[in-house]
Amino acid sequence: MRRILTVDDSASIRQMVSFTLTNAGYEVGEAVDGKDGLEKASQKSFDLIITDLNMPNMDGIEMITAVRKLPGYGFTPILMLTTESQAEKKDAGRKAGATGWIVKPFNAEQLIAVVQKLVK
């Protein structure tokens, strides 16, 4: 079963991502902020990461930069799931190594379709 890591300081967002993807047949791990996400990613391999941007301790951009340096995460798809929609923020995300951007709230059907496309 393909594994996905959801990183968000909001429990309800983690719940919704987990609910959506578990129902679609994925195993979903959760992390409460960027630091936690980085730790989880280094302990276990994930096929895809969905992360928030603004989080305490370590934000999404910092986490992506660090995750990209972890062995085996060079090409792992990473999606940003955030309330932000500013172009400069997206650009920063892309430069850090994000694969895609989703403005909250996400569309469950769309998310599943993209995850299916990215995690084959």
Partner 1 sequence: MSVEVKPEVVGAIEQAERELQALVADSESEIGAVAHGFQELAHDTDEILRLAGEVVGCVEDEKVLSVLPKVRSLGAAARQFVRERLEATEGVLETVTAEAKLLDRLSQLTRGQRSIARETQTLSVLTNIEVARLGQLGAGFQYLAHELDEFSQTVAKSTRELSSHTEERKASVEETKRLLATGLPRIRREFARIESDLVNALAVVDSSQEQLARAPVQFRGCVEEIASQIAGVVAAVQGHDITRQQLEHVQEALLWMAGRIEEEDDADQPQIAAGLAIQLFQLRGIQETVGRWLEQIRCCTGGIERISSSELVKIGPLVLDQERELSAQLARIEALEQECEKDNEEVQGTFAGLSSLMRLVGEHLEKSRYVRDRLQLLTFNSIVEASRLGSQADAILEISQSIKRISVEWAEMTERSAQAKEEILALVEEAKTGMQAFSEDSKEGLTAVRGETSAGLEHLREAAQFAADSAAEIEAATARLQGRLSEVGGARDRLDGCFSRIGTVREVVDGIKRDQEALAPGALERCDRKMAEERFSASYTTEIERHLLRAALYGTPVPEVEQNLAGNDVELF
Contacting positions for partner 1 (CB under 8 A)? 8, 10-13, 15-16, 19-20, 23, 53-54, 79, 82-86, 90, 94, 98-111, 114
Which residues lie closer than 8 Å to 44 by C-beta, 6 or more apart? Answer: 3, 29
Cβ closest to partner 1, residue 42 vs residue 54: 54
Q: Around 97, how many Cα atoms within 13 Å sit in the side-chain half-sphere?
A: 19
Nearer to partner 1, 42 or 47 (CB): 47
Nearer to partner 1 (CB atom), residue 72 or residue 105: 105
